[in-house]
């Protein structure tokens, strides 16, 4: 009973953290929100101009996958380092009921909260153009959730190695490009020598699964199964590593 109460308390604190650092940011800092959407939307616009309607669909799905990881996940690197080194907020939270695991999850949820309006825009555009049934979204949501967990936990783990705030912002941008643009996120994996290259990044896995579900791209079913399994394994591994790295006590 005590244990359940403890878990409930931690869930409440995670939500309060997401309100403080995610929701209030959405309400008070809309410019950042617009700027975080510019990269995926620019890619969609260019793809549509040069590739036509089919590439608009691919671009929107890629934009959705990229926004989940880039705005909702990798940005955690910059924010975690900022809160730890610049504001010393992590040090202040040391002496609260918020435990290190809840802090990590709260920060991840803040990033997702901050990305929600952007995600909503992409979902509205996808629905307006593709008119997918609700079932497709039900299948896509767990995949996007796994992508978010993987990106957030990988991002948080990397943030613990950084000792300069500027590196945090840079690294989230670099990861966004390396994992969210370079691999087959905005273009189909069948254009590559082997579509299995899509497995290199959680973002391209999510994008490939979305293309399979919504655009009925003829990928081998083995690729989709392997993709989901890889995403699941990455989410688990990075979560365990992040939670191990999220201890409060430092030696430096």
Partner 1 sequence: MDIVIEAEGIGKTYDGVKWALRDVDLNVNRGRLVTLLGPNGAGKTTLVRILTTELKPSKGRLTILGEDALRNPERIRHRIASIPQEAKPIYFVTPYELVFSYLVFRGFSISDARIEARRALEELGLWEVRDKVMNNLSGGFKRRTLVAMVLASGAELIFLDEPTTGLDVFSRRSVWDALARLKGEATVVLTTHYIEEAEFLSDEVVVLNNGSVVARGTVDELLSKVEGEYVVEAYGLNKPVFEGYSYVKLNNRYLVYVNSSEESSLVAREYAKMGGKALVRRKTLEDVVIRLVGGWSNDEASGDLDSN
Q: Which is nearer to partner 1, 20 or 49 (CB)?
A: 20
Q: Which is nearer to partner 1, 162 or 206 (CB)?
A: 162
Residue 175 sits in the site that holds partner 1 (CB under 8 A) = no
Residue 164 sits in the site that holds partner 1 (CB under 8 A) = no
Helix extents (H) in 95-181: 100-130, 134-159, 165-180
Q: CB of residue 76 vs partner 1: minimum separation in angstroms?
A: 15
Residue from 33, 41, 76, 98 touching partner 1 (CB under 8 A): that is 98
Q: CB of residue 145 vs partner 1: minimum separation in angstroms?
A: 26
What distance lies between CA 233 and its chain's CA centroid?
A: 16
Residue from 3, 131, 216, 249 touching partner 1 (CB under 8 A): that is 249
Contacts of residue 51, defined as CB under 8 A and 6 or more positions apart, other chains included, come to 58
Q: CB of residue 69 vs partner 1: minimum separation in angstroms?
A: 23
Q: CB of residue 222 vs partner 1: minimum separation in angstroms?
A: 46
In the numeric block, which tokens belong to residue 111? 């990033």
Contacts of residue 248, defined as CB under 8 A and 6 or more positions apart, other chains included, come to 90, 94, 100
Distance between CA 180 and CA 173 in Å, rounded?
10
Q: Is 168 helix (H, G, I), strand (E, B) or coil?
A: helix
Residue 13 sits in the site that holds partner 1 (CB under 8 A) = yes
CB contact at 8 A, 214 and 131: no
Distance between CA 238 and CA 227 in Å, rounded?
16
Candidates 21-29, 128-136, 199-207, 234-242 — which segment interacts with partner 1 by CB under 8 A? 21-29
Residue 8 sits in the site that holds partner 1 (CB under 8 A) = no
Residue 191 sits in the site that holds partner 1 (CB under 8 A) = no
Distance between CA 42 and CA 36 in Å, rounded?
11
Residue 233 sits in the site that holds partner 1 (CB under 8 A) = no
Residue from 21, 55, 167, 238 touching partner 1 (CB under 8 A): that is 21
Residue 169 sits in the site that holds partner 1 (CB under 8 A) = no
Half-sphere exposure of 109 (CA within 13 A, CB side): 17
Contacts of residue 146, defined as CB under 8 A and 6 or more positions apart, other chains included, come to 202, 206, 228, 231, 232, 234, 235
In the numeric block, which tokens belong to residue 203? 């973002």
Candidates 69-77, 201-209, 224-232, 244-252 — which segment interacts with partner 1 by CB under 8 A? 244-252
Candidates 84-92, 146-154, 176-184, 203-211 — which segment interacts with partner 1 by CB under 8 A? 84-92
Q: Using CA of residue 187, residue 192, residue 195, residue 200, what is the dihedral sign? A: negative
Window 38-67: contact mask with partner 1 (x via CB under 8 A): ------------------------------
Q: Which residues bind partner 1 (CB under 8 A)?
A: 9, 12-13, 16-17, 19-21, 24-25, 28-29, 86-89, 91-99, 248-252
């Amino acid at each position: 009973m005590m244990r359940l109460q403890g878990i409930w308390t931690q869930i409440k604190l995670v939500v309060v953290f997401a309100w403080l650092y995610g929701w209030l940011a959405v309400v008070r800092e809309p410019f950042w929100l617009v700027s975080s959407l510019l990269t995926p939307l620019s890619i969609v616009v260019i793809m549509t101009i040069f590739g036509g309607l089919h590439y608009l669909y691919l671009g929107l799905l890629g934009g959705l996958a990229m926004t989940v990881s880039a705005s909702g996940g990798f940005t955690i690197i910059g924010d975690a380092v900022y809160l730890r080194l610049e504001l010393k907020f992590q040090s202040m939270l040391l002496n609260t009921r918020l435990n290190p695991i809840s802090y990590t999850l709260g920060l991840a949820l803040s990033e997702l909260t901050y990305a929600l309006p952007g995600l909503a825009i992409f979902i509205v555009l996808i629905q307006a153009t593709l008119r997918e049934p609700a079932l497709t979204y039900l299948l896509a949501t767990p995949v996007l959730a796994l992508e978010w967990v993987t990106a957030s936990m990988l991002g948080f783990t990397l943030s613990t190695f950084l000792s300069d705030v500027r590196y945090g912002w840079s690294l989230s941008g670099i990861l966004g490009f390396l994992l969210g643009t370079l691999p087959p996120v905005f273009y189909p994996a069948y254009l590559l020598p082997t579509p299995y290259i899509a497995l290199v990044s959680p973002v391209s896995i999510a994008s490939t699964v979305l293309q399979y579900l919504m655009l009925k791209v003829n990928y081998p079913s083995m690729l989709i199964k392997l993709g989901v399994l890889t995403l699941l394994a990455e989410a688990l591994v990075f979560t365990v590593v992040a939670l191990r790295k999220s201890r409060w006590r430092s030696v430096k």
